[in-house]
Chain A
Amino acid sequence: MFQLISDGGCDFTKEEAQKYNVDIIPFYVSFDQEAFMKEGVDISKDEYFKRLATEKNLFPTTSQPNPQDYMDIYKPHLDAGKDILSLTISSKLSGTYSSATMAADMMKEDYPDRTIVVIDSLTCAVGEGLVLREIIKMRDNGYSLEKTAELAQEIIKTTRVYFSLDTLEYLKKGGRVGPTTALVGGLLGLRPVLHLVDGAVEQLDSVPGRKRVLQLMHEGIVETLQDETENIEICIGHILREEEAAEFKKNIEVALNIKIDTPLTEIGVTIGTHAGPGALAIAYCKKYDKLD
Chain B
Amino acid sequence: MDTIFGNLNIWFVMAQVLGVITIIFEFASYQIKDKPKYFRTTGIGSFFWLTMFFSIGMATGMATQISLMVAASYSTVRNLVFWRIFSKNTPQSKEFGLNFLLVMIGVALVAGTLAVINSPPEVRWLHILGMIAALSFVIGQYLPGVHYVRITVTIYAIVVLVTQTPVNILYGDFRWNIMGMAIEAAKIISVIVFYVRYSKNPKQSSLQFAKP
Contacts and interface: CB of A to CB of B under 8 A. Distances in A.
Interface of A: 158-160, 162, 171, 176-181, 184, 188, 190, 193, 195, 202-207, 216-217, 219-221, 223-225, 228, 231-232, 284-286
B209 A224 contact: yes
B207 A177 contact: no
Contact of A224 (B98, B102, B145, B210): B210
A159 B209 CA distance: 12
B6 interface: no
Contact of A178 (B92, B203, B207, B211): B92
A177 B94 contact: yes
Contacts of B204: 223
Contact of A216 (B143, B206, B211): B206
B144 interface: yes
26 contacts: A158-B212, A159-B212, A160-B210, A177-B95, A178-B92, A179-B95, A180-B98, A180-B102, A181-B94, A184-B102, A188-B143, A204-B207, A205-B144, A205-B145, A205-B207, A207-B145, A216-B205, A216-B206, A219-B203, A221-B209, A223-B209, A224-B209, A224-B211, A225-B212, A228-B212, A232-B212
B172 interface: no
Given A216-B207, A219-B203, A224-B211, 18 more contacts: A160-B209, A162-B209, A178-B98, A179-B95, A180-B95, A180-B102, A181-B91, A181-B95, A181-B98, A184-B98, A204-B207, A204-B208, A205-B144, A205-B145, A220-B209, A225-B212, A285-B212, A286-B212
A219 B102 contact: no
A232 B143 CA distance: 34
Contact of B95 (A178, A193, A203, A231): A178
Contacts of B89: 202-203
Q: Is the interface of A mostly helix, strand, loop or mixed?
A: mixed
Nearest to A282: B209
Interface size class of B (residues with CB under 8 A): 20 to 34
A225 B209 CA distance: 9
Interface of B: 89, 91-92, 94-95, 98-99, 102, 143-145, 203-212
B208 to A, nearest CB: 7
Nearest to A232: B212
A217 B207 contact: yes
A84 B91 CA distance: 38
Nearest to B98: A180
Nearest to B210: A160
Contacts of A190: 144
A171 B90 CA distance: 13
Contacts of A202: 89
A178 B90 CA distance: 11
Nearest to A216: B207
A213 to B, nearest CB: 8
Nearest to B204: A223
Contacts of B145: 205, 207
Contacts of A223: 203-205, 209
B184 to A, nearest CB: 28
A279 to B, nearest CB: 16
Contacts of B206: 205, 216, 220
A9 to B, nearest CB: 20
B144 to A, nearest CB: 5
A285 B95 CA distance: 33
Contacts of A184: 98, 102
Residue from B95, B203, B204, B205 whose CB has the most chain A CB atoms within 10 Å: B205
A236 to B, nearest CB: 14
